[in-house]
Amino acid sequence: MILHLDLDCFFASAERINNKKLLNIPIAVGGRSNLNIFDNKKQNRVMSNIKGAFTSSILSTNENKNFDEYFRDDTGKIRGIVTTSSYEARAYGVKTAMSVSEAIRLCPSLTVIAPNYPLYHELSHKLRVLLEKELPSVEQYSIDEFFTDASGWIKDEDIFEFAIKLKNKIYDDLGLPISIGIAKTKWIAKLATTDSKPSGVKLIKPHEVDDYIKDKPIAEFSGIGKAYQERLTKYNIKTLGDIKKYKDLFYSWQKPGIQLYNRVCAVDNEELSHTTDKKSIGLGRTFDPINNRDEIRRRISILCRHLSFIGMKNDLYAMTFALKIRYEYGSKVKDNISSNRNFSESLLKKSIIELFDKIDIHKTHSIIQINITLSNFTKDKCTTLDIFSYEEDNKQKELSNSMQKLRSKFGIDIIKNANEM
């Protein structure tokens, strides 16, 4: 049987572990675009110990920051959105992605906390270690979700009792409430978890699947987003039970339709995924409108420094660089460039700034967002194929390696280029 485990109100639950005053009251963890990356002063940042394509690698801590320090800007305006809310807060209508100011309006007694991402990643890592000791196969699906396969390890007739004991052990050892769904397939197990909340266990036996999905709204199934919901509604498909009736239709949609149909009907037999390889790594920030292009280039250089550090830390040397910028009034531009030269921080900065100068078509418009992505990785420190850049690339590669060692030991802000100041 497959178990899907989902931590309940994870960030909020994590904050309660060491602060019992937060128990049984409405609380929320909020978030803001982390702009201190652009500050000149050294920041407290750590590398995540979670290996996976879904997770950020460099984490900033906001521990001990009070509400005003984190959520109020220089004008006194409350900024940020809710990333997690407790069940007590949800009773007032507080939801994820809601603005912090609206959440406080709905719940005046709400305690809003600045995020402490290193803590959340540490707890997530500890949970994975615990699960790997209890079960032979574990897939980390997100920072607060896991799939485990107990087939051949725990008898089907004992799986519910095992899940109860596992849930209690996680709470006793880590202080984290968790909900567990159990089924023969991954996606029915994940669906069952929604019915096990909060802090419960829900088992769907193979012969119960048809009856279980019969009246379930399509919106509750993982992978059926708003666009897909609209598409299905045109065929008068409103429940998961309706999907089962339209096999020919879904199979006519080729791979995506076949995959969805099989998952809903629990005939997919998908195994757990254990890959942690990153196909790309990216970093971006949203900020108040900036018209000064020199300031934008400075911020690009800083983002490149961080991305270079992350890539080299994981022995990933990108050959394709992409840049996307968003202007104040909604228009966006993006482009990418491929390189056959040795990857280095210097090459990345030079390439992305040149790309920016090329695609910045609205030069009188202010910019509110920058996103940089690295992809097409090689794990080899390849020799440049550009004979005219061979000597320079080797120098830059050695320099990048030296800076990497210093930053790994003393922090990523220990060495900065002059154009970042």
Whether residues 220 and 341 share a domain: the answer is no
107-139 pLDDT, tens digit each? 999 999 999 988 999 999 999 999 999 999 999
Rounded to the nearest 10°, the torsion over CA 60, 65, 71, 76 is -130
Is the model's pLDDT at 373 over the cut of 60? Answer: yes
**What CATH number has the domain bearing residue 97?**
3.40.1170.60
Of 407, 416, 417, 410, residue with least CA distance to 309:
407
Domain containing 51 equals 9-116
Compute the distance between CA of residue 140 and CA of residue 273 in angstroms, rounded to an integer.
8
> Where residue 412 falls among pLDDT bands split at 50, 70, 90?
low
For residue 52, being part of any structural domain is answered with yes
Domain end call among 260, 277, 294: 277
For residue 109, being part of any structural domain is answered with yes
pLDDT at 190: 97
Domain end call among 116, 131, 148: 116
Whether residues 98 and 45 share a domain: the answer is yes
202-249 pLDDT, tens digit each? 999 999 999 999 999 999 999 898 888 999 999 999 999 999 999 999
What domain count does the chain have?
A: 3
Q: What is the DSSP letter of 173?
A: H
Whether residues 346 and 376 share a domain: the answer is yes
For residue 132, being part of any structural domain is answered with no
57-90 pLDDT, tens digit each? 666 666 678 898 889 988 889 989 999 999 999 9
226-238 pLDDT, tens digit each? 888 999 999 999 9
1-50 pLDDT, tens digit each? 999 999 999 999 999 999 999 999 999 999 887 777 777 666 666 666 66
pLDDT at 273: 84
For residue 33, being part of any structural domain is answered with yes
Compute the distance between CA of residue 13 and CA of residue 120 in angstroms, rounded to an integer.
10
Whether residues 263 and 323 share a domain: the answer is no
Domain end call among 227, 254, 277: 277
Is the model's pLDDT at 385 over the cut of 60? Answer: no
Whether residues 295 and 267 share a domain: the answer is no
For residue 303, being part of any structural domain is answered with yes
Compute the distance between CA of residue 113 and CA of residue 266 in angstroms, rounded to an integer.
40
**What CATH number has the domain bearing residue 224?**
1.10.150.810
Compute the distance between CA of residue 247 and CA of residue 258 in angstroms, rounded to an integer.
8
46-63 pLDDT, tens digit each? 666 666 555 556 666 666
pLDDT at 51: 60
For residue 414, being part of any structural domain is answered with yes
pLDDT at 58: 63
For residue 169, being part of any structural domain is answered with no
pTM of the model: 0.79
- Whole-number mean pLDDT of the chain? 88
Whether residues 284 and 406 share a domain: the answer is yes
